[in-house]
Amino acid sequence: MASKIEVDPESGCWLWTGSRNREGLSGCGTVSYQGKTDLVHRVVFRLLVGEIPEGFQVSHAEPRWPHHTRCCNPDHLEAVTRQEALGRRDGVRARARRTHSGNAGPVAAGGARAVRLRTGHVRSRER
């Protein structure tokens, strides 16, 4: 497993470079362990931290990093209830909605955002 982990110097995340359960940023690393396919962060948590309590799941403590689904650093992982994990995910999505609004592009400070016109020109628009 260690040969498929790269350390991100900015975040300290241990990034899984092996197989994942789906494409894109939302895909979590997968590994075959004890005859079953499991998520890498769960296997690492069990090996280096301890068993995952009944009714809990393993979640990244700082889901703001864009690659947190690939992270398997045990110092970044914690066992949480499903409700808490969903709240964290929804918080990340809410922050994304505040900084990007659909196809209009990034929202600048003060509510101005760049809007691409059909002609390809870009103009600034106040919200």
b or e along 38-59 (b: 16 or more beta carbons within 10 Å of the residue's beta carbon)?
A: ebbbbbbbbeeeeeeeeeebbb
Determine if the pTM surpasses 0.85: no
- Which among 125, 110, 31, 13 is positioned nearest to 69, based on CA atoms? 13
pLDDT one-digit tens code per residue, 87-125: 877 655 544 444 544 544 454 444 444 444 444 444 444
pLDDT one-digit tens code per residue, 18-64: 988 877 656 789 999 999 999 999 999 999 999 999 999 998 887 66
Task: Give the Cβ contact number of residue 123 at 10 Å.
Answer: 8
- Which among 31, 14, 12 is positioned nearest to 70, based on CA atoms? 14
CA dist., res. 89 & res. 53, Å (int):
20
b or e along 69-108 (b: 16 or more beta carbons within 10 Å of the residue's beta carbon)?
A: bbbbbbebbbbbeeeebeebeeebeeeeeeeeeeeeeebe
